[in-house]
C-alpha cells in the first residue's frame, strides 16, 4: 500500500488525479500543479516543465515545491515521501493533455 500525500493545508491526496493541472503559463512552458483544496493557502504545490521540439511539447522536468515536499517528509518519513512524490509526478505527467498545449501554439501562426 502506498502512503497518502498530505498538503500542508490538511487536504489528503489519495490519487494523482485529484490534483488540478493549470495550463496557463504557456509562454513559460510550464504547467502548475494545484492542491485540490480551493481554500488551500499554498495553491501551487509543484510544476511540470516542457519544451517545444519541432512544434510538439516534450516533457522536460517535474517537481513539487519545497514546502510540500518537506511537509510530506515530516508526515510520512523522508524515504516514503520521496518515493510517493516521484510516483505521483510520473502519474501526473502521464495525465497531461498535450493537445491543450499544442493547439494554442499552432493557432498563433
Ligand atoms: Zn493544500
44-102 pLDDT, tens per residue?
A: 999 999 988 888 888 999 999 999 999 999 999 999 999 999 999 999 999 988 877 76
100 CA → ligand 1 middle, Å: 25
Q: How confident is the model at residue 26 (pLDDT cuts 50, 70, 90)?
A: low
Res 97: pLDDT: 85
99 CA → ligand 1 middle, Å: 27
Q: How confident is the model at residue 3 (pLDDT cuts 50, 70, 90)?
A: confident
Residue 62 within any structural domain of the chain: yes
Which range of residues forms the domain containing residue 98? 5-104
Residue 109 within any structural domain of the chain: no
| Grid cell digits, residue 41 | 493557502
60 CA → ligand 1 middle, Å: 25
3-class secondary structure, 31? strand
6 CA → ligand 1 middle, Å: 8
What backbone phi and psi angles, to 5 degrees, belong to 78? -55, -50
What mean pLDDT do residues 22-33 have?
81
First to last CA, the chain: 48
Res 1: pLDDT: 60
CB contact at 8 A, 24 and 83: no
User: What's the total number of domains in the chain?
Assistant: 1
> Higher confidence at residue 45 or residue 1?
45
Amino acid at each position: 500500500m502506498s502512503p497518502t500525500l498530505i498538503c500542508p493545508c490538511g487536504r489528503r491526496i489519495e490519487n494523482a488525479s485529484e490534483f488540478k493541472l493549470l495550463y496557463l503559463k504557456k509562454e513559460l512552458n510550464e504547467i502548475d500543479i494545484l492542491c485540490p483544496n480551493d481554500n488551500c493557502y499554498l495553491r501551487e504545490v509543484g510544476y511540470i516543465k516542457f519544451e517545444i521540439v519541432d512544434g510538439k511539447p516534450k516533457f522536460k522536468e517535474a517537481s513539487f515545491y519545497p514546502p510540500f515536499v518537506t511537509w510530506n517528509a515530516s508526515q510520512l518519513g523522508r524515504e516514503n515521501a520521496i518515493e510517493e512524490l516521484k510516483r505521483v509526478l510520473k502519474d501526473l505527467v502521464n495525465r497531461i493533455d498535450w493537445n491543450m498545449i499544442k493547439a494554442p501554439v499552432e493557432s498563433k501562426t
